[in-house]
């Protein structure tokens, strides 16, 4: 895994939360939020009205397109705090101030799919896949109802798993309802029982992002999680997907509960990207 410098970031790779059309109605359904196109790229920003739309919060995330303050004013935004998280730019124009207190996701990954995609994995991932292949288990593409039923039935010995599981299922159902053909999902079956699952979200024609997953206790000995990642990569390559991304990764000072899933994802990651800097203007 290589940690890229901003100048090395692929310029045709886009963040799903600000480029996937399936996410627009989801964002707008969160309450008095409007999305709007920016530039010629398949990207959008969002604005949220407060105090009867007298004040707005505006966010441009992971884009090198500078927010157009005059355009916002022309569209009726009278007072706003505008946040801008650049994608790869370092030449920040005058007037933008650093925003140090921010909750945006700062780390992500990107893999450019090739026929030899497994060669970009680390040794641990390749060993895990060999172990799975000897287990007799099977990965199957399934419909949404089958995936949800298996997710509900899954069990992990952690005190908050049931609460987290229900949140993930609600999120999966809600986003999938906007464009079901853009969501794919698989289950791992061992001895006739579903023990792990993965759903991905396809967007911008040739991108796919790790959406939601579960790994029941019975899946660990057979490396079911690794098998699902392999099927996601294999089928995405067959589908013509260019970029695979695991979405959020833990930053060096992030919460400890993000450590486990980040370490798992990093077994497969080709490149890591960072977005530590955010800027703002107020008018």
The reported pLDDT for the residue numbered 17 is: 95
Q: Tell me how far apart the 2 most distant CA atoms of the chain are, in Å.
A: 63
Kindly indicate whether the domain formed by 114-241 is annotated with CATH number 3.40.50.300.
no
Residue 133: what are its φ and ψ, rounded to 5°?
Answer: -60, -20
**180 phi/psi in degrees, rounded to 5:** -60, -25
Which residues in the chain are classed under CATH 3.40.630.30? 114-241
Closest CA to 35 of 52, 12, 17: 17
Q: Which residue has the tokens 């089928």?
A: 235
**Residue 157 per-residue DSSP state:** S
Q: Summarize pLDDT for 155-208 with one digit per residue, the tens.
A: 877 767 778 899 999 999 999 999 999 999 999 999 999 999 999 999 999 999
Note the pLDDT tens digit of each residue in 75-107.
999 999 999 999 999 999 999 999 998 777 899
- What CA–CA distance (Å, rounded) separates 73 from 70? 5
**Could you tell me what percent of the chain has a pLDDT over 70?**
100
Per-residue pLDDT of 223-257, as tens digits, reads 999 999 999 999 999 999 999 999 999 987 777 77
pLDDT value at residue 258: 80
Note the pLDDT of residue 164.
Answer: 85
Using left for φ > 0, alpha for ψ between -120 and 50, and beta otherwise, residue 87 falls in: alpha
Tell me the pLDDT band of 20, cut-offs 50, 70 and 90. Answer: very high
CB 104 within 8 A of CB 276: no
Quick: pLDDT tens for 28-59: 998 899 999 998 779 999 999 999 999 999 99
pLDDT score recorded for residue 159 = 66
Q: CA-CA distance, 34 to 53, in Å (whole number)?
A: 11
């Amino acid at each position: 895994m290589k940690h890229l410098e901003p100048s090395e970031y692929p310029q045709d790779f886009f963040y799903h939360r600000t480029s996937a059309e399936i996410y627009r109605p989801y964002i707008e359904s969160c309450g008095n939020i409007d999305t709007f196109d920016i530039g010629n790229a398949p990207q959008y920003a969002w604005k949220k009205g407060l105090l009867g739309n007298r004040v707005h919060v505006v966010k441009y995330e992971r884009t090198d397109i500078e927010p157009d303050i005059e355009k916002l004013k022309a569209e009726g935004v009278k007072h706003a705090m505008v946040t801008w998280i650049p994608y790869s730019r370092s030449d920040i124009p005058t007037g933008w101030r650093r925003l140090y207190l921010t909750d945006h996701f700062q780390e992500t990954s990107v893999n450019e799919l090739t026929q030899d995609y497994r060669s970009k994995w680390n040794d641990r991932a390749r060993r895990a896949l060999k172990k799975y292949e000897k287990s007799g288990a099977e990965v199957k593409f399934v419909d949404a109802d089958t995936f949800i039923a298996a997710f509900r039935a899954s069990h992990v010995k952690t005190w908050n798993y049931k609460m987290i599981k229900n949140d993930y299922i609600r999120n999966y159902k809600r986003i999938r309802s906007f464009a079901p053909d853009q969501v794919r999902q698989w289950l791992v079956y061992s001895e006739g029982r579903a023990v792990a699952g993965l759903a991905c979200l396809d967007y911008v024609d040739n991108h796919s992002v790790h959406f939601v997953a579960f790994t029941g206790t019975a899946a660990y000995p057979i490396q079911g999680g690794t098998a699902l990642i392999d099927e996601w990569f294999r089928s995405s390559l067959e589908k013509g997907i260019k970029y695979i991304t695991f979405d959020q990764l833990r930053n060096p000072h992030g919460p400890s509960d993000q450590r486990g899933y980040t370490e798992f994802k990093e077994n497969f990651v080709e490149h890591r990207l960072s977005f530590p800097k955010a800027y703002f203007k107020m008018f």
